[in-house]
Each structure stands twice: as structure tokens, then as C-alpha cells.
Structure 1
Amino acid sequence: MVVRSINTDGGISGVHVVAMPYPGQGHINPMMNLCKRLASFGDLLITFVVTEEWLSFILSSAGSATPPPNLRLRSLPNVTPSERARADDFPAFIEAVYTKMEEPFERLLDQLEPAVSAIVADSYLPWAVAVGNRRDIPVASLWPMAASVFSMLYNSDVVAEHHPFPIPISEVGEEYVDYIPGVPRIRLADLPTLFHSSTGVDRMRWFKESFKMVPKATWLLLNSCDELEASAVDAIRSLLPSGVHPIRPFTLPPSPSQGKAGFVASYRAEVDCSAWLDGHPPNSVLYVSLGSFMSVSAPQMVEIAFGLRASGSPFLWIVREQEWLAKEDFDGKGLVVSWCSQMKVLSHPSIGGFFSHCGWNSTTEGISAGVPFLAFPIAVDQTCNSKMIVEDWKIGLRVRGSNMDGSGDNELVGREKIAEIVKKVMDLNRKSSKEMRRRCKELGEALNRAGQRGGSSDASFNSFLNQVKAKGRAADLCLPV
């Protein structure tokens, strides 16, 4: 096994927390942001564990950024397929995560000093809870998605009693369900796509293994807060014996002096778009990003491109592996790049809309920045997040999704519709756009207050932190807790 570190332990003693994220960008970055916050308390030592491949990505992305002295990186062998090929055979990737990472992780624990006080592991790594239980180490299970999605998946058997899987979207139409704890009335078509396809149902067996272990963890950390999902958070608290801590989305807004995004994980080189954005008026640019993993078809990319061109709005588009788009000048209106610091871009005053796949990280980042959405969900939890954006919070419009307009997952959304919705959101004089922006600003301010001193998530985080420290001190003294 290769064990690498980017810094020394800095002479720090006391509570030692080991963090183990699921090996995917949308999971690693929230875990890293949580660990940076934990590390801001100088009496904790944080060991952040990733595969060798992901360690190289992090080191490359960090550039000159330096982590806190009490945050160190360690690596496991590359026992999972490469991130660059993860989407090519996703079932094989999941199986490797669930079956091949536990043994090298345990070997690493044996090598670490000082002794491990607590483990924070992604909820999709059930074996991490088992390891902690065997070693009498308390484990915090970190749920990286929306609390509502946790309730939907945790209660999948309840849904199956009413609608056997897979649920055919073409047949359920406008049928709603209102029996999932903490989840407002929702269309069957808006449930995670795992419920709707035979491949998704097959993958759900792995996820059920994860949910079996969550109650055996000492804590459940929710990547959400009461301000966004109070009913779901309350329902989860009533379901689980674990200490449930909603600790706000783990997104750190960039500081004005920040160049790179800092310590993040990505295998694509970041492009600084600041100068281009500076040349546009406030709220005039549409930011377009469909995520770091899932993809849409080439014909759909063409429709999006022509729709953006026809809308007349300037746009910044993050595109992976579509070289022909990078050569287009879009009449001087568009900038196409491979990667950027998303939170930095969303926080720029020129950004007036977010054309998004509605992944949870992107959703909470857009809300935090107060930017309205054009919802284009692709898979997994994104349909649920899109529903919350459009129907519950009313801070965006659907571009695609849930057969609302007869368009299924395999049908194209045409350029005319895309251009029409872009115009509706980006027209600052339109009454509906003004109202959407007002609601988004208010929700963003509430979300940000939750993480500030005295806010609901700040209090929840401090409660968790104090419990971790107490268990760590008791273990050092061999006292019961």
C-alpha cells in the first residue's frame, strides 16, 4: 500500500478523526469542506483518506493552496476503476466500492498514529460503520444528498408496498404519493430514478446495504438544514436512534482573495473565468453546468447549444469532452470551458441564472449564491431536487423532467423550448423572474444564516463536535461515555 501525506502532523495531539469519502467528486468535495471546518478547531487531527488516483487529483487541483497543519491526506490503493471511466461500467464501480475498499482501509487504520478517536464515512460506505463497530470506534455517517432523498430511499420498502419496482414512468403520469415520512406530496415520476429502471432497482440492493448500517452509526450527518428541509430532517430524527445532525450543505463560499478554489478534487484543469465575467452587467450571464459525472446525449447537447444561441443571453458553459463546442463562438455571446470553480462563478455579480442538472451540491451552491435555476435533471436524486426547486421553493423553472410536458428521459428537449425558458428566467423586467429572484435571495440568505454563528446548523455542528471531542477524551482516559 502507498501511504502519502502532504504535511506532517504538526505536533498535534488529542482527538483524531479519520474521514473516508465515497470515491466520487460529488462526495469527496463535501467531505473535504466538512473536514476543513473540523480542522479549523486546532485540537483535532483530521486524516482524509482517498484512493491514490484521487490523491493525485487533489494535489493537482490544490496548486499552491496549503491545508491546515492538522489536516493530512492518506491514500488507499486504486482498488476501484478509474474516475475517468466510472460512467462506462457504473455497476462494476459500485461493486468495487462495496467489496474492495474495506480491507485496505482497515490496514491503513492499523498504521495511523495517534489512535483513531472517530470515523466520518460517506453513508454509501456501509463497511466503514462495520469497521468502526468492530474496533469500538464511533462512526459518523455522512449523507451527501438531500434529507428528502434519504427519506425516500430509506423508506423504499414502503413505496414498494404500493408500487412494485421498477415503477414505469409512462404509466404513473400525474400520480402523487404522500406517505413518505417528511416528504411533501410528490409525483411518482419525481422519485429518484433508481425506482424507475431495472438497472436502478438492481443498484438499489447495494444502497439498501448502506441504509441497514446507518442506524448502527453513532451519528448521522445530513448535508442539509432546517431552513431547506425541516420536515424531512424531523422525520429522519424520529426514524433513527443515531444522533442526527443537519450541518448545512458543506459548501464554503470563496473569499474575495481566493484564486483557485483551494482544496478540491477534480481531474480537470480549472479555468479562471473572472475576466470574462467582469465584462458583463449584473445578472446578465447564464451559467450552464450539467455536473461532473452524468452526461446527456450528443443530440441533446446540440439542442442545448442552439437553444442558448437563440435565447440571446450571454452564457458560460462548462462542457466535458465536447471539443466541437469549444470551437464555437456563439456570436460572441458564449464562453465554453472544461472546468471552473463553481461557487466562485455563481457568486460573481454577473451571473443571473443557473442551467443545472440539479445535483445536490449544485443545488445548494446555487441557493447559497441566490441564483435562480433552469432545472435539467438527468438521473438519480436530481429529479427530486428539481421538484423541490420548482414546486416547493419556487426558485426555478423546469427545462426537462418527470414527463411534465410529455418528454421522457430518452426524448430530446428542443432548442425552441430551451430558448423560451432561458428568456423567461433571464428577463430581469419580467414580473415572474423578479419574484423568483426575490424568493431565491431570501432562501439563500436563510441558508447562509444557518451556518453562521448562532444559526441552526452552526448549533448542530457544535453539538456534534463536542460529542466527538468528549468521546475522544473518554477513550484516551479509558472512561465510559
Structure 2
Amino acid sequence: MAEKQKKAHAIMISMPYQGHITPFVSLALNLASKGIAITFVHLESVHHKLSKPHHKPDLFSDARQSGLDIRYATISDGFPLDYDRDLRPELYWTALLQTLPSYVDEFVGNVIRSDPHSLHFLIADTVYVWPAAVARKYNLLNVAFWTSPALVFSLLYHLDLLKERGHFLREDDEAEIDYVPGVGSLRIRDLMSSLSKRGDVTGNYLFKAFQEVKKADFVLHNTVEEVESDTLSALNRYQPTYAVGPIGFSGTSNVAVSKSLHAEVDITKWLGSKPAGSVLYVSFGSVVQTSKGVIGEIAHGLRLSEVNFIWVARAHLTASGDADVLPAGFVEEVEDRGLIVPWCDQISVLSDPAVGGFLTHCGWNSVVESMWCGVPMICFPVTYDQPTNRKLVVNDWEIGIDLGDAATLDREGVAEKIRILMSGDASERFRREAGKVKQMVRDAVEADGSSVNNFHRFVIDLDKKLRST
């Protein structure tokens, strides 16, 4: 078979968390719409959770019927299917990083042997440490997909600098960091938890992962060039870098694929009964856990604020694992203006005219979706990249307000911040700035927008390199 007739084939593997799965699925659809074959790999545990609410044995069956070449496969993570991976997410994550590489190695080898006529390449989550070794073993091009902002990537990429300057694992420090290429000034409190907290198990692991990502052939970022231009420009000096976000709103494929790990409650009717801009949406994402005390202060703050709200109070919201974490009597007291649900379609909620603000943990998917909808935010980061995402929202883009942290949180302060965001002069300013960011983000995925052009450039560059190696 002539080289030019061989089809490019991506083997895609994401981290098994909602914030990673969602952009990975969207990237797969976008690549398939460009004629690239995809083998999308889920962990068996993720497939089990996805198939339960959506009742589909193959998550990409509709995509294939529409003509996209997306194959679907599952691999084990080494744990029994009934093991509760959400109860202690950091413990599971640590163990996963040790058990998964051997399963991936075996799977990739089997795929290549079963299809020797395709031009295989790897697209893996940047936080994994094994992609470079697997790519080298099987002579594959290695594409790293980063699902958080470029700022976080750059800080992790330059961990050696942070260590040299003594800014790695320095807690409660307002020291200024102003030496990272392409990154403006920030403080220790703006760093990811894995870089600023002693005892966080992920710091040294991420250092190793980012030593490995420097060996990638290409790096894709789920961000927008216009909102992180200096950082992306600096990173592009090291290796080919492409801002292709927000990937979930980009591309030509209109195929719906199940992404949510939880069954969703339809709250359209409830939102329809509320005035425009009057509802605060509250969600801490799909993974992070906080304390019952924090939940209590936020609940009382919502009560004192007297605003309408929707609160996603999912299972395992606290590390205690308690099914009922809300204060006694809270639900009854706010039932005329508050709706408590276990999960919902976040983008449809943020898109609703009734929603005027978002109290968020600042996970990147949540931030991007809020930007897309022009909804200003109240930021309460808990862990991972969330403190750095808050810095972007509050300080750089000025589309949100900082709620503080668990140590300083109190109900009166929560109520005051809610009122500031939802009404008055400051609210108008936040909404105006959020509208500007919304326009930039949406322009990026229009025809001839920066993300569309970057994605097209990546596909061309990828094809050239595949056929030259």
C-alpha cells in the first residue's frame, strides 16, 4: 500500500475524570470529521458509569452512523469494577498512575499488530507519565492534549525554575513569581495545590510527567489564543503548540455523544419560572471534595443572600462520604427560591437567560463554559489547577470575584459576595467584562477564527510528520 493511501489513526486515552473526558470526546469528534480514524479508549469503570445513565453499549455508535470512523475500546485500570473510585479520588489517582501503564502498553501493541496498514499515533492526557515511553517503544508520534489553561501548563513546564527559586512547596506565601517565560506576575497562593502544599501527593509526579511531555511531537491546548496569547507564544518556542479551544464548541461535527458520568436532572421548567439574570448556579464539579463545614457556610450564605439558586449537591461532595451534607432544615427554608439537584446539564443551565452568576470551584471546563455563556463567577477553588484558574478569572480577565478559601469562609461573607456579583454596579461591570470575553471565545471557533485555524494547521502538520517518519 502506498504511503499516501495509508490512513492516519489516533489512539486516544484520557484521564478518567469528567473534566478530561469531556474535551477528549470533543477532540475525537473534531479529528474524525477531518478524516482521521480514531480508537477512543475508556477505562472499563468509566464505560460502566457512562453506559448506565445513557443506556448505550457503544458511546460512539451514533458518530459511526453519521460516517465518522471512531472505534471504541475499554481497558482495565487494575481495580474491581465495584471499587468506589470517587470516595477517595486522590488515593485512586495515585494508584492508577502505577497500574495503568502496563495495560496501555499491551493495548497499543495489540492495536498496531491488528492494523499494520494505518499510520498510528498517540493522543494522551498530558498528566500521564507513560506516553513518551509507549510512543518510543512502538515508533508512534506523540500528541499531548492539555485540558487546562496554558498558564497552568507553563508553570508545570517550568517546575525546575520554581524549584531553583525556592517557590516549590512553599505554603501560605505571598511571594511574587515573575520569572516564568510568557507568564505575568503571580503569587504562591495562585499556584496549583500540587506546587504549593506540602503533603500533596501529585507534585513530584507532575514534575516527572512534564519532563516527559517535553518529548511530545505536538501539544494541543484547550484554550483560546486571544485570552492567553503571551503564554502560548512562549510555549511555542519549545515545541509545536496549538490552542484549539474551547474544543467542545469547535468543529464541524454535530454528533451528540454521551459524556456525562452522571444522570442529569432536567431543570428547564424551573429556570423558566425565574426572572432574567436572577439565578445563581452553584456547582463544585464532578470530583473535588470539601468539608461539611464549608458546605454549611455556603448554604447559610445562600440563605442570607436571598437570591434564587440551583445547587448541584452530588454524591461524595465531602470526604466524609455522608449522603446528606446540607444543614438541617436548609432545603425546606429555601424551597421557594432554591433547587437542589444531584447533577444537571451544566452548559444548558449556564446558557439559560435566568442564570446571572456561577459559584464555582474553578475547574477549567466550568470556567470555559461560563466564559462561553458570558456568566460571571464567584470563585472558590479547592485543589488541583483551580487556584490558578481563579487567578485568571479574577485578576487577568476580571470576570469574577474571589470567595476566599476554607480557612476564612463565613456565611456573611458568602452572602455579601453573592449580592455583589448578582446585583448593583459591580454586577454590571462583571457582566460587561464577561460579555467581552464571551465574544473573544466565540470568535475563536468561527470560520477563520484562531482556534479553527490552529486546528487546521495542526492536522496539516500532523499529516506531514506522519508521512515523513
Within 1, Cα distance between the matches of 2:168 and 2:188? 11
In structure 2, what is the equivalent of residue 252 of structure 1? 249
Q: Which amino acid aligns with 1:186?
A: L
Change beyond 3 A, Cα 1:323–1:13: farther
Q: Which amino acid aligns with 2:52?
A: S
In structure 2, what is the equivalent of residue 347 of structure 1? 351
SS at match of 1:344: helix
Equivalences for residues 35-434 of structure 1 within 5 A: 35-41=28-34, 43-63=35-55, 66-69=61-64, 70-80=69-79, 85-86=84-85, 88-90=87-89, 92-112=91-111, 113-114=114-115, 115=118, 117-163=120-166, 165-169=168-172, 172=173, 174-200=174-200, 202-238=201-237, 240=238, 242-252=239-249, 262-266=257-261, 268-321=262-315, 322-323=323-324, 325=326, 327-328=331-332, 330-401=334-405, 409=406, 411-427=407-423, 430-434=424-428
Q: CA deviation at 1:434?
A: 1.0
Within 2, Cα distance between the matches of 1:372 and 1:40? 33
Change beyond 3 A, Cα 1:363–1:176: same
Q: Which amino acid aligns with 1:48?
A: F
SS at match of 2:169: coil
Q: CA deviation at 1:449?
A: 1.0
In structure 2, what is the equivalent of residue 7 of structure 1? none
Within 2, Cα distance between the matches of 1:92 and 1:334? 34
SS at match of 1:354: strand
Q: CA deviation at 1:139?
A: 1.3
SS at match of 2:10: strand
Q: What is the TM-score of this pair, normalised by structure 1? A: 0.86
Aligned length in residues: 443
Q: CA deviation at 1:220?
A: 0.6
Which blocks of at least 5 consecutive residues in structure 2 are unaligned?
316-322
- Contact persistence 1:80–1:93 (CA under 8 A): no
Within 2, Cα distance between the matches of 1:339 and 1:218? 38
Within 2, Cα distance between the matches of 1:439 and 1:319? 29
Within 2, Cα distance between the matches of 1:271 and 1:298? 24
Q: CA deviation at 1:97?
A: 2.9
Q: Which amino acid aligns with 2:349?
A: V
Within 1, Cα distance between the matches of 2:38 and 2:51? 17
Change beyond 3 A, Cα 1:80–1:145: farther
- The C-alpha deviation readout for 1:160-212, integer Å capped at 9, x for no partner, is 2222542020xx2x432211222211111111111222222x42221112111
SS at match of 1:150: helix
Q: What is the TM-score of this pair, normalised by structure 2? A: 0.88
In structure 2, what is the equivalent of residue 5 of structure 1? none
SS at match of 1:339: coil
CA RMSD of aligned residues (A): 2.5
- Contact persistence 1:194–1:380 (CA under 8 A): yes
SS at match of 1:286: strand
SS at match of 1:101: helix
Q: CA deviation at 1:324?
A: 5.8
Q: CA deviation at 1:107?
A: 2.1
Q: CA deviation at 1:329?
A: 5.3
Q: CA deviation at 1:158?
A: 1.1
The one of 15, 19, 25 equivalent to 1:26 is 19
Q: Which amino acid aligns with 2:259?
A: V
- The C-alpha deviation readout for 1:319-377, integer Å capped at 9, x for no partner, is 12353649545141100001111111111111100000011111111001100001111
Q: Which amino acid aligns with 1:400?
A: G
Change beyond 3 A, Cα 1:82–1:182: farther
Change beyond 3 A, Cα 1:436–1:264: same
Within 2, Cα distance between the matches of 1:117 and 1:470? 13
Within 1, Cα distance between the matches of 2:96 and 2:403? 33
Within 1, Cα distance between the matches of 2:230 and 2:81? 38
Change beyond 3 A, Cα 1:337–1:288: same
- Contact persistence 1:62–1:264 (CA under 8 A): no
Q: Which amino acid aligns with 2:22?
A: N
Q: Which amino acid aligns with 1:35?
A: A
Change beyond 3 A, Cα 1:81–1:345: farther
- The C-alpha deviation readout for 1:144-173, integer Å capped at 9, x for no partner, is 11110111112122122222542020xx2x
Q: CA deviation at 1:130?
A: 1.4
- Contact persistence 2:63–2:257 (CA under 8 A): no
Equivalences for residues 451-462 of structure 1 within 5 A: 451-462=445-456
- The C-alpha deviation readout for 1:218-239, integer Å capped at 9, x for no partner, is 101111121221111112112x
Change beyond 3 A, Cα 1:224–1:110: same
SS at match of 2:307: coil
